Amino acid sequence: MLRTRWADVAILVALAFAGRFLLALWHRRHRSAAQRAWSPRLPSWIGRVVAPLLLLLGLALPFLPGVGRYELDLAVLVATYVMLGWGLNIVVGLAGLLDLGYVAFYAVGAYAYALLALNLGLSFWICLPLAGILAAFWGVILGFPVLRLRGDYLAIVTLAFGEIIRIVLINWVSLTGGPNGLSGIPRPTFFGLEFGMGGGPDTFAGYFGLTPSPLHRVIFLYYLILALALLTNWVTLRLRRQPLGRAWEALREDEIAARALGINITTTKLTAFALGAMFGGFAGAFFATRQAFISPESFTFIESAIILAIVVLGGLGSQLGVAIAALVMIGGFEVFRDLQEWRMLVFGVAMVTIMVWRPRGLISTRRPTVSLGKARAISGDLVGEGRG
């Protein structure tokens, strides 16, 4: 079982945010008006080439030479964070709502799945959508109190919400098991076929005439989280091209202007919170069924910080950038585990380099999906003449 060293991750996240803060101060003092318009974007063909290649690599990964249990477990972990990053990207990257308590929806989905499966005996395919719906409901519950909040105040409230959920999970012992968590969570089946080693006709291997192997379950879990992540990506891309997605972008750029244009700010914010929470709930349900054990210690603030760092470093609003950032951050920690203390230095230097090279993230998509013309910088003189 893979174990991420959260102390190292916390240091890495702190370095990332500190470096980004210092970089923002430097840019504020030194860049000219022409440089403030839009940061340079990578050529558009990169996304059209890299995204299909990553998809093909992901689909073929279990069958590539040299890929074993360790590599598949790592791929499952990376794909989980990719899905979480894409879910948070709706809230932060598209709608511009700074959410520091996203781990709460991750926890709600995990515990909802565990309680439904353990107490009601429902199958994975029934518990999964129910967990997402419950997480979306809590997203709406969070959204109502913060409708009038922005920036720092919104971040503080969402951070508090995440901690409240964790404390409730710790203290509601009769329902959640308290600090001991919940164990014996049923694992998913392939349309009723168990992934057992017996080889009987009611098992996956026996039904398809395969030699029983523990890799069958891991491969199934990998394709399951890959399908959930791709569903998250597809829904996000579809919504981004719809009026709702354009309303999110307008809200992100200027809430007052969006309100003046007749956009329903309440509905727009609540929809962003609900959809982001739903995908976080799906990821939580998958986490619960994969681990077969959950506890409040799996849903601390550092999880929210990691997911937010993935979104920021990948590029706010960029689906491809978030996927690459998750691969680099989560996969890199495991690949360079042998470097021990030195890997923190390597990652720190790499992240600072990325922030200097790409201040808006690896792949910046802060430009509106629809624009009326070519964006250009307006100098102070032109503004004074009434032309800006």
Give CA–CA dist 129/113, Å, rounded: 9
Give CA–CA dist 230/388, Å, rounded: 42
Determine the pLDDT at residue 332. Answer: 78
Q: Is residue 378 part of a domain?
A: no
Q: Is residue 101 part of a domain?
A: yes
Q: Is residue 2 part of a domain?
A: no
Side-chain-facing half-sphere of 107: CA atoms under 13 Å: 25
Q: Is residue 352 part of a domain?
A: no
Q: Which residues of 254-275 are buried (b: 16+ CB within 10 A; e: fewer)?
A: ebeebeeeebebeebbbbbbbb
Cβ count near 220 (within 10 Å): 18
Number of domains composing the chain = 1
3-state secondary structure of 186: coil
Determine the pLDDT at residue 379. Answer: 45
Q: Is residue 326 part of a domain?
A: no
Q: Is residue 221 part of a domain?
A: yes
Determine the pLDDT at residue 387. Answer: 45
| 226-233, Cβ contacts within 8 angstroms, sequence gap of 24 or more | 226/58, 226/59, 226/79, 228/83, 228/282, 228/283, 228/286, 229/79, 229/82, 229/83, 229/86, 230/55, 232/83, 232/86, 232/87, 232/279, 232/282, 233/86, 233/319
Determine the pLDDT at residue 27. Answer: 58
Q: Is residue 143 part of a domain?
A: yes
Determine the pLDDT at residue 38. Answer: 43
Determine the pLDDT at residue 77. Answer: 93
Give CA–CA dist 249/368, Å, rounded: 7
Give CA–CA dist 134/11, Å, rounded: 33
Q: In terms of pTM, does the model score above 0.85? A: no
Binned average pLDDT, 10 residues per bin, the chain of 388 residues: 54 58 57 45 64 86 86 92 94 88 94 94 90 93 80 85 92 91 87 73 73 82 94 92 88 84 86 93 94 91 87 85 88 74 70 70 60 50 44
Q: How far is CA 335 from CA 216, 330, 349, in A?
A: 24, 9, 17
- 348 token code pair: 């720190």
Q: Which residue has the tokens 């558009």?
A: 44
Q: Which residue has the tokens 């978030």?
A: 322
Question: What is the Cα gyration radius of the chain?
Answer: 22
Q: What is the DSSP letter of 122?
A: -
Q: Are strands 293-294 and 182-183 parallel, antiparallel or unpaired?
A: antiparallel
Give CA–CA dist 188/175, Å, rounded: 22
Q: Is residue 89 part of a domain?
A: yes
Range of the domain at 304: 75-314
Beta-bridge mates of residue 293: 183
What are the residues whose beta carbons fall under 8 Å from the beta carbon of 282, sequence distance 6 or more? 83, 109, 128, 131, 132, 135, 228, 232
